[in-house]
Structure 1
Amino acid sequence: MELEVRFKPSERALSTLNQGPAWDLMQKVKQEPKYDTVNRPLGLIDLSGALNTLMTGWVDMVAWTLCDQGDAVLYFTPNFYMLDFDLTARAAVLPVPISTAGIDDPFGDSAIPFLADRLDLALQDTHNRGIRCSALFVCNPANPPKVAAIVLKHSVHSLFGLLLVAYTSSLMRYTLFQTSEMTTTPPLCDERAEKSVHVLYSLSKDFNMVGLRMGFFVTRNSAVRDAALSLQPQLVQDYLVQYRHGLREAYKSATRALEQCQIPFTRANAGLFVFIDLSQWIVYFDGSDQATTAEQQLSNWLIEHGVFLNAGEFAGSEKPGQFRLVFTRDRSVVEIAIRRIRSAIDKLGQ
């Protein structure tokens, strides 16, 4: 016992054990029997997130490498649960969310001036508080090339020095399953530097495979590129064709089921999930329990009826009742989960 007291974990490590209601909910879900078509057909179906772990480490590494303690990192919301934790647990940066609430089609062309204005305001606020802004973190459902274009072409790029743009999570082009124009990523450096700038990124999350440790190397240095010619990029292209087809069919299947069950949702043309809108059913929960909100109570109600979804409030959504539904599991399982959601919300009105 004395040794345990003397060699206890650091306060920093202990603080990570208390991650609030979202973490508690995830721990609860771990105890629930999991769905299995044959052995456990009534088990819980988890559509809360993609199966990946690699990007958590990358987010931590980027924050640690680019930022000093106390620096600000800006990001648009909603995004994904645990982003703020991944940024702050080790690097101790200041997360600064930028809301996209009230903007129609936040990442379309028409939204550029509104996003730029909100980015300006966030930068001005951090500057007025004497806080250095080190990075703008862009991830799905944002469109990284579109937001990068805003940063590099709009005046915010020169307001307070260099604003670094970190592309993480999903690379939208590889998960684009609907016909849509994608903004070409603008150059991040001038011609004098491009020969010595190389880019590495991971696709663990894009392919929804937790064990996939695949990385890509991008360079404009011909000597370095020649050394890598033994790679077979056609294999990657062939796989992308199959992957996008499967993703498109999974999306069609999920959205068809959502429409049949009359569950509102926000359409997507890339990525692995959609946000469903259960706001009209959140009124059945008053949030009177000080430990939980009405949205968390609705989330628990869904768990009791066999479905776990990531609540929007844990992903920065300002409108109560938004839930993230990952549609890239087996299509029949996703359809069962959607029918369970419909059944669960129908029981609220009885």
Structure 2
Amino acid sequence: MASHMNEYFRPVRQLDAENITFAAGVTALNEACALALCDPGDAILLGQYNYGAFPTDLVARTGLSFVYAAFGDSDQFSENCVKHFEAAYDQARQNGVNIRALLLCSPHNPLGRCYSQAALRGLAKFCEKNDLHLISDEIYALTVYQRPRHANESFTSVLAIDEGIIDPDRVHVLYGFSKDYAAGGLRLGCVISHNRAFTQAVRGGVCRFSSPSHFSMDIATKMLEDRPFIIRFLQDSIEALARQRVLVEALLDQSRISHLKEGNAGLFIWLDLSEFLDPYQQLDDGWAAEAALAAKLAAGGVVLSTGKRYQSPKPGNFRMIFSYDEGTLREGIKR
């Protein structure tokens, strides 16, 4: 894995096996980061749109809380995002909340976008200034495709941030096999860090009961050692995703379903179905109207993740996965 990440993530400091700790999935490692870096009562800072399972993974058993940065109409993937994180951090401090880490999802789930290098450098400076750890969930790192006739974004790992901006001991990256390699059944994730004390804590205590299967490790090792297979698999994957993105956007446009135009990462697209919410129910409780629409869609055989799950600031957004065959996509959008 170290050789693989050195090739694809291009870290400024080369990785070796001692920098990487495996567990039975990234879910366990999310919690491990929280337990190793924070004390009960502390908080973690996130952007308002974020991966829907973070609250369960990092908060359920740790005694932590989340502080969310709101971005309004600003581009949260540009350097402008830094001032919004700073504002949320300052407000939390005024409220007596002790923030210990900034958590990013990069590439982003559910918006499918990549942080610019300027944004990552700015966030690294922000973390260094305020004595924060920078945790980056990069599980979609190699699921970044090229869309024709669009301004495509590139993935940059926080491990590739220029030296001297942030203490490497503050930087921790989460990665796994479930997304880029379509191998969720292996239940195999890893955390990458140059911080020896953090690595020792995760290996020696926190993840003691989350050890990965030896069978999974063996399969993963054989996959990563077969470089021609890995190169071909990843290339086939991003080419297929690019084709499906073009198809799904065409189908959504034909059906006049509003969706996020930006983004070229991940397996999903962000929909705006707010016009289909029950107007009377929405006046009383917009989130209940969103849940009712989700239930109605599910009854018709279409299961979408609701915006509320991803801390959407307003009801009516849904995440739709488009990595299906063409027939399934056409039927789902028609319904």
Call closer, same or farther: CA 1:245–1:126 in 2, change over 3 Å. same
Tell whether 2:122 aligns with 1:150: yes
Structure 2 portions without partners, runs of 5+: 1-23, 195-220
The answer to whether residue 305 in structure 2 is matched with residue 310 in structure 1 is yes
In 2, the alpha carbon distance for the partners of 1:83 and 1:199 equals 15
Equivalent position of 2:51 in the other structure: 80
What is the CA–CA distance in structure 2 between the aligned matches of 1:200 and 1:337, rounded to whole Å?
32
Q: Deviations over 1:78-126 (max 9, x none)?
A: 12222112110122211112123322x432xxx422x111111111122
1:297 is matched with which residue?
A: 292
In structure 2, relative to structure 1, the CA distance for the partners of 1:284 and 1:132 (3 Å cut) is: closer
Whether 1:265 and 2:263 are equivalent positions in the alignment is no
Structure 1: how far apart are the matches of 2:303 and 2:33? 30
- Aligned pairs for 1:130-145 within 5 A: 130-139=96-105, 140=108, 141=111, 143=114
Structure 1 counterpart SS, 2:26: helix
Matched, 1:112 2:114: no
CA 1:291–1:318: 2 relative to 1, 3 Å: closer
In structure 2, the residue matched to 1:240 is 234
Match of 2:12 in 1: none
Amino acid across the alignment from 1:248: A
TM-score by structure 2 length?
0.70
Q: Distance in 1 between matches of 2:124 and 2:259?
A: 32
Q: Is the 8 A contact 1:75 1:138 kept in 2?
A: yes
Matches within 5 A, 1:93-242: 93-103=64-74, 105-107=75-77, 111-113=78-80, 115-139=81-105, 140=108, 141=111, 143=114, 146=117, 147-153=119-125, 156-161=126-131, 163-168=132-137, 170-172=139-141, 174-178=142-146, 180-182=152-154, 184-185=156-157, 186-187=160-161, 201-213=175-187, 231-242=225-236
What pairs with 1:321-336 in structure 2 (closer than 5 Å)? 321-336=316-331
CA 1:145/1:292 → structure 2, altered by over 3 Å: closer, same or farther? closer
CA 1:236/1:194 → structure 2, altered by over 3 Å: closer, same or farther? farther
Contact persistence 1:87–1:95 (CA under 8 A) = no
Identity of aligned residues (%): 27
TM norm structure 1:
0.67
Residue 250 of structure 1: CA displacement? 1.9
Aligned residue among 25, 28, 40 for 1:69? 40
- In structure 1, how many angstroms separate the alpha carbons of the residues matched to 2:191 and 2:93? 35
CA-CA distance at 1:275 after TM superposition = 0.8
Q: Say whether the 8 Å CA contact 1:79–1:316 is kept in structure 2.
A: yes
User: Structure 1 219/168 Cα, relative in aligned 2: closer, same or farther at 3 Å?
Assistant: closer
Q: Which amino acid aligns with 2:231?
A: Q
SS for the counterpart of 2:225 is: coil
Instruction: Name the aligned partner's letter for residue 25 of structure 2.
Output: L
Aligned CA-pair RMSD: 3.3
Partner deviation per Cα, 1:17-68 (whole Å, 9 max, x = no partner): xxxxxxxxxxxxxxxxxxxxxxxxxxxxxxxxxxxx9332221222122221
Cα distance in 2, alignment partners of residues 168 and 232 from structure 1: 25
The whole-number CA distance in structure 2 between the counterparts of 1:198 and 1:100 is 24
Counterpart amino acid of residue 164 in structure 1: H
- Give the AA of the match of 2:139: S
Aligned length: 269
Structure 1 distance, partners of 2:104, 2:303, is 26
**Distance apart, 1:317 and its partner CA:** 0.7
Partner of 2:271: 276
Do the aligned partners of 2:115 and 2:156 also contact (CA within 8 Å) in 1? no
Amino acid at match of 2:275: Q
In 2, the alpha carbon distance for the partners of 1:208 and 1:134 equals: 33
The answer on whether the counterparts of 1:309 and 1:325 sit within 8 Å (CA) in structure 2 is yes
Q: Secondary structure at the match of 1:211?
A: helix
Q: What is the 5 A alignment of 1:36-55?
A: 54-55=25-26
Q: Aligned-pair distance for 1:245?
A: 1.0
Q: Is the 8 A contact 2:101 2:135 kept in 1?
A: yes
SS in 1 for 2:181: coil
Deviation at residue 314 of structure 1 after TM alignment: 1.6
What letter corresponds to residue 136 of structure 1 in structure 2?
L
The structural deviation recorded for 1:273 is: 0.7
1: distance between equivalents of 2:115 and 2:65? 21
